[in-house]
Structure 1
């Protein structure tokens, strides 16, 4: 009985050897077929553009808020410049260095030039230097110039100029250019929907198109952003429901009170108030020693025969007219707006004259200062309303005197006014106590400079 030889090959190995000529012919035929280009989704290109716009807005918002903290007008005044700087930085670190914007990178896309550039004129991303410079001018610099020119024209009322004026003609030309650009953008977008090659007009002019960054492109839908957006939306609705129920005026007053107690200047004011009270003649404890200066309000140098509340309201109204901050200075000179209006009305008003705010129906406060009845009642009613809304009884809810800065608890009708002096308040008598407010004249400036 004979055994099979060990040199006999298995059947599968013999079949593999027999199939080699056929496999070689198939490989040779595949080389003649054109290479398949991966499919480029249009929605991915549009999402890349939206992501770039959102990134620019996210980076621009905190910068504008920081400028608004310096001055409220800076937030809108320098908005185009902020957008230009941020867009330039993003373009340098994305398109120039990597050949794709950050939005395109999130979509696994990159730019590719249709024309083969010279090897010496390439950027670090491998794209033509000239094409990227023109692309940056069209996508970054040109929108800034358009925004700035449009803001300049609207600030100077070019649309309201006569039809034959050069400003109106320039504005009509700008509007015509905007219409042409909108029309070209519409046709370019229709062409993009048809062939999916060039997303914007700048890409079509420079022959720059988005292609997949990897041979195999998969579009995985992630719901992480959607879930986060739903959470924030629910949290926002909860805050909208909760915030009106919180008594914010009381919390703000308590925080201000704690801060004033912890601040050194507030402690100095309390010490000076206690020192002045202990050394006053009424207490009979004055020892003639030097004490800290008494607490002072914003209008502590204002003449006592005039209403400081009227002056404060006038300063607020002037600031609304001029769009700035109008302050009452110690010299009490009329501002430029007042001088201009006085000149237009034909009034013989000296520019160095002091505005007059005479006290009508005088009322004296618990701290010993006199104001108009209507001005004082308005302030105290507002303070009482805030106190009622706050539901607390802290001192911070009282109205503070504009002369001494103390909280006004009560006020009474001023009696014993000398009728012979119609333009000033004199001989004050309240509850059997008589005070004399004299004409301080030049002593106001001397006291202010000494303080």
Structure 2
């Protein structure tokens, strides 16, 4: 019974939150900020009208619960099988306390905070009123905690309002067939196990290497030949050229080989570029110039210096005489 009552309160809170979200979509932020207590009070009043009609909230009805007049079941009348319905006074008092009480408290708190009554002198009546409000709030929280502890012990009144009005949630139908289905739980367990498996296996899979492997298996060789960059000069890094061409940058001017390394197929690349490709591909990579499989690289310093000197001499020889 305790679990059902707590679940009913939780369902009421979630349903009311859903209605509140839909309500805020209808108003601008300025109206929401100014009239939020009034709008919430109206919505809360509409939501609690089910107590007048059926003697239970929506959440309580979903949990097969209803309110009964506990005054009619005191003493020797506790064993009466027929539950006494709520009186008219209890129904309206319940709505007044849950809706009106909350609205009045919010409005008073807003007024006190907006006008800064807590910062006034201690002799000012408004400051004294603010201190009284603080004490009342602390007393209410303490009494609510004690009431909840008592509820956990006897399972009768889950809120102070229920205890004050002597109304208690009981089963609406005491004898009913309960069909327990674990379909949803099983589905959740399967999805949880599947997501855990994906989180474990995905870091172990080299998606880039798998993609390139599928491309080599499925696409014809003519596709790769048409995309080769063997036309580039030898002092240009094909990887830098490809990356900068994809970003619409000046590929030819800023794609010179830096810290050159030579592949086993005899082509030069920047060390950072070729090493990154090999790490991403898992140790092997397809050369952008000839399409061969690159497995090893070695540092190439002397040849590059000689080629640069030769290029400089060639460029100087081509300059026109002044």
TM-score (norm 2): 0.51
SS for the counterpart of 1:112 is strand
CA, structure 1 residues 48+226, in 2 after alignment: closer, same or farther (shift >3 Å)?
A: farther
Q: Structure 1 residue 54 and structure 2 residue 14: aligned?
A: yes
User: Map of 1:246-257 to 2, 5 A cutoff?
Assistant: none
Paired position in structure 2 for 1:120 = none
Structure 1 runs (4+) greater than 3 angstroms displaced: 217-228
CA, structure 1 residues 223+195, in 2 after alignment: closer, same or farther (shift >3 Å)?
A: farther
In 2, are the aligned partners of 1:100 and 1:109 still within 8 Å (CA)?
yes
In 1, are the aligned partners of 2:157 and 2:167 still within 8 Å (CA)?
yes
Quote how far apart the aligned CAs of 1:227 are.
Answer: 7.1
Which structure 2 residue ranges, 5 or more long, are not aligned? 74-83, 196-247, 249-322
2-structure distance, mates of 1:130, 1:213: 21
SS for the counterpart of 1:115 is helix
In 2, are the aligned partners of 1:60 and 1:82 still within 8 Å (CA)?
no
2-structure distance, mates of 1:220, 1:146: 43
In 1, are the aligned partners of 2:52 and 2:92 still within 8 Å (CA)?
no
Quote how far apart the aligned CAs of 1:149 are.
Answer: 0.9
Q: Structure 1 residue 194 and structure 2 residue 153: aligned?
A: yes
CA, structure 1 residues 134+220, in 2 after alignment: closer, same or farther (shift >3 Å)?
A: farther
Paired position in structure 2 for 1:140 = 99
Q: Structure 1 residue 84 and structure 2 residue 41: aligned?
A: yes
Paired position in structure 2 for 1:330 = none
Q: Alignment length, in residue pairs?
A: 181
2-structure distance, mates of 1:189, 1:183: 10
Paired position in structure 1 for 2:167 = 208
Quote how far apart the aligned CAs of 1:44 are.
Answer: 1.0
In 1, are the aligned partners of 2:86 and 2:167 still within 8 Å (CA)?
no
Instruction: Give the counterpart of 1:108 among 64, 73, 90.
Output: 64
CA RMSD in angstroms comes to 2.9
User: Map of 1:41-440 to 2, 5 A cutoff?
Assistant: 41-68=1-28, 72-92=29-49, 94-116=50-72, 126-216=85-175, 218=178, 220=180, 224=184
Deviations 1:97-121 (A, max 9, x none): 001100001111111112349xxxx
Which structure 1 residue ranges, 5 or more long, are not aligned? 1-40, 118-124, 235-390, 392-451
TM-score (norm 1): 0.37
Q: Which has the higher contact order (CA 8 A, sep 6+)?
A: 2
Quote how far apart the aligned CAs of 1:168 are.
Answer: 1.2
